[in-house]
Amino acid sequence: MKQNPVGWFEIYVSDMPRARAFYEAVLGVELSPLEAPSESGMMVEMWSFPMGENLPGAAGALARMDGVSPGGGGTLVYFSCDDCAVEAGRVAGAGGRVEREKMSIGPYGFIALAHDTEGNLFGLHSQA
């Protein structure tokens, strides 16, 4: 494999306006609408996180689709930050809950874990 293993991610939500407001507030970004392929026959609403074709890291989006529920599970998405304590500090004000405050992961930097407004657990990662 000549690339990082994750090429795309989707965070499933039930209340898109609430979820968008949460991630925009915590990460300090603006999400953009993605058009679902009409030939798929699926009713999907997606809003992408900012992405650039030649930038490192995986691109992804919030997704709302009938029959797919949000919540805790076996996948954990980490968002890169300059200092994960800053974004973790915005979580409660945006309607989420911090599960674990900033903690060291040794030579790999620091992480914080939080729950969004939809019940999804997500991570924040920084080197400082």
> Mind listing the pLDDT tens digit for each residue in 20-68?
999 999 999 999 998 765 555 667 899 999 998 888 889 999 999 887 8
- Its domain, for residue 38, covers 8-126
What is the DSSP code (8-state) at residue 114?
E
Distance (Å) of CA 95 to CA 23, 51, 110, 127:
10, 25, 23, 26
Flag whether 1 is in a domain: no
pLDDT at residue number 67:
79
Reduce the DSSP state of residue 87 to 3 states and report it: helix
Helices (H), the chain: 16-27, 84-91
Are the beta carbons of 76 and 101 closer than 8 angstroms?
Answer: no
Q: Among 125, 118, 107, 7, which residue's Cα sits nearest to residue 59?
A: 7
Q: Which residues pair with 111 in a beta bridge?
A: 103, 125
Summarised one tens digit per residue, pLDDT across range 85-107 is 999 999 999 999 999 999 999 99
- Residue 53 maps to a domain: yes
- Do the domain assignments include residue 27? yes
Which one, of 99, 102, 96, lies nearest residue 82 by Cα? Answer: 102
Domain-embedded: residue 120:
yes
Per the domain annotation, does 64 fall within a domain?
yes
Cα–Cα distance measured from residue 112 to residue 27, given in angstroms and rounded to the nearest whole number:
13
pTM for this one?
A: 0.85
| pLDDT number for residue 73 | 76
Residue linked to tokens 């494999």: 1
Whether residue 70 is contained in a domain is answered as yes
2 belongs to a structural domain: no
Residue 121 burial by Cβ neighbours in a 10 Å radius (0-12, 13-18, 19+): middle
> Domain count of the chain?
1
